Amino acid sequence: RSILVLNGPNLNLLGTRQPDIYGETTLAMIEETCARHGAALGLAVTFRQSNHEGVLIDAIHDARDTHDGIVLNAGAYTHSSIALRDAISSVDVPVVELHLSNIHAREDFRHLSHIAPVALGQICGFGAHGYALALEALKAHLEGVDR
Ligand code: DQA
């Protein structure tokens, strides 16, 4: 099985970006964890990041032919992008929505997720460990454990 771990705007700055909220783990460290944890689960992980909405949309379209599932941390596009939501609705690839921080415990504008209604589920508030949780959730889903 192959999984796309897709990261949106400003996540390239992890480690130095508001570490009190997002922690000190860098995106490169998260990529390494995803590769290692994915391999242990029997998942081949492709890891990507873009600050551009259209690039993220293209990546979701492309995953249709290449990946069995997507872990998506859409960053602030979570709260604003109907186009990203439509992209997910347009492909038949299960998506786990992920956030490092607990978006529900933060500002009101972060409580709304356009992704959540079209996602398999949402993982948030567990920091970088959430990526490992998301890979496990996708694996279980793909194996039919939650059906
Ligand atoms: C985030 C939460 C979003 O509200 C924020 O805009 C981000 C990161 C998270 O991982 O906690 O960029 O998706």
Burial of 144 (0-12, 13-18, 19+ CB in 10 A): exposed
Tell me, in angstroms, the distance from the centre of ligand 1 to residue 76's CA.
Answer: 6
What does the alpha-carbon distance between residue 13 and residue 11 come to, in Å, rounded to a whole number? 5
Q: Is the pTM of this model over 0.90?
A: yes
Which residue has the CA at smallest separation from atom 13 of ligand 1? Answer: 75
Binding site for substrate, by residue number, is: 73, 79, 86, 100-101, 110
Distance from the Cα of residue 21 to its chain's centroid: 17
Q: Is 111 a catalytic residue?
A: no
For ligand 1, say whether the CB of 114 is within 6 Å of any of its atoms.
Answer: no
Which residue has the CA at smallest separation from atom 12 of ligand 1? Answer: 75
- Tens digits of residue pLDDT in 7-34: 999 999 999 999 999 999 999 999 999 9
Its ipTM equals 0.99
For ligand 1, say whether the CB of 101 is within 6 Å of any of its atoms.
Answer: yes
- Tens digits of residue pLDDT in 42-72: 999 999 999 999 999 999 999 999 999 999 9
Catalytic residue among 37, 99, 114, 131: 99
Q: Is 99 a catalytic residue?
A: yes
Tell me, in angstroms, the distance from the centre of ligand 1 to residue 70's CA.
Answer: 17
CATH architecture, domain 2-142:
3-Layer(aba) Sandwich (3.40)
Domain range summary for the chain, segments of one domain joined by +: 2-142
